[in-house]
Structure 1
Amino acid sequence: MTPDDVARYVEALPQVKRKGTEARPAWYVRDRLVARLDEPDTLVVRVPLSKRESVVASCPEGFGVPPRMEAHHKVEAYLDRVEDAAVRTAIDLAWEMQSRP
């Protein structure tokens, strides 16, 4: 999945707004982070802690949780190593979590 593919997918979700910069775009629902491109091939996705292990287990070479994110509801998706469907699933989990009242 390319950064442009990510942008098209997440921006098609209801109530999502793009923020951030050109180099580091981020997508939010009601000012709550859904995803942010940290590097050209690394997407940070906010997922529920209860689902994070299953996201990583679905594609261990494509997702990771660096030490700085262990206490947070976040996972890194390495876009050059993960299947598009797995990224979309992680984004959907983030969107569902952030869309709740």
Structure 2
Amino acid sequence: MTPDEVGRYAESLPRVKRKGTESRPAWYVRDRLVARLQEPDVLVVRVPMSRRESLLEAYPDSFGVPPRMESHHKVEAYLDRASAQAVRTAIDLAWEMQQP
């Protein structure tokens, strides 16, 4: 999945707005992070802790949690090898977290 595809998908969800910069775009719902392009092929996605482990187990080649993110509601998606479905699933989880 490319960063442009990530952006198109994220922005297709209700109330998601793009922020950030050209090189590091980010997508938010009501000023709460959904996803942010950390590097050209690494997307940080905010996911519920209660669902993070199952996401990692379902898509082990697509996601990782570096030590600096272990205590945060986040995963890294490796866009150069992640399946599009895996990335969309993570973005959906992030978007659901922002719903009232």
TM-score (norm: length of structure 2):
0.97
Aligned-partner Cα distance in 2 for 1:57–1:78: 15
Gaps of 5+ in 1: none
Aligned to 2:23: 23
Q: Runs in 1 of length 4+ with deviation above 2 angstroms?
A: none
- What is the rounded CA distance, in whole Å, between the counterparts of 1:52 and 1:4 in structure 2? 24
Instruction: Please give the alpha-carbon distance, in whole angstroms, between the structure 1 residues aligned to 2:59 and 2:89.
Output: 12
Identity of aligned residues (%): 77
Shift of residue 62 of structure 1?
A: 1.4
Structure 2 unaligned residues grouped into runs of 5+ = none
- Superposition pairs of residues 1-101 of structure 1, within 5 angstroms: 1-98=1-98, 100-101=99-100
Residue identity opposite 2:83 in structure 1 = E
Separation in structure 1 between the aligned mates of residue 62 and residue 86 of structure 2, nearest angstrom: 9
**1-side partners of 2:37 and 2:26: how far apart?**
6
Deviations 1:49-79 (A, max 9, x none): 0000011111212100000000000000001
Partner Cα distance (1:56, 1:5) in 2? 21
The number of residue pairs the alignment matches comes to 100
- Deviation of 1:81 after TM superposition, in Å, equals 1.1
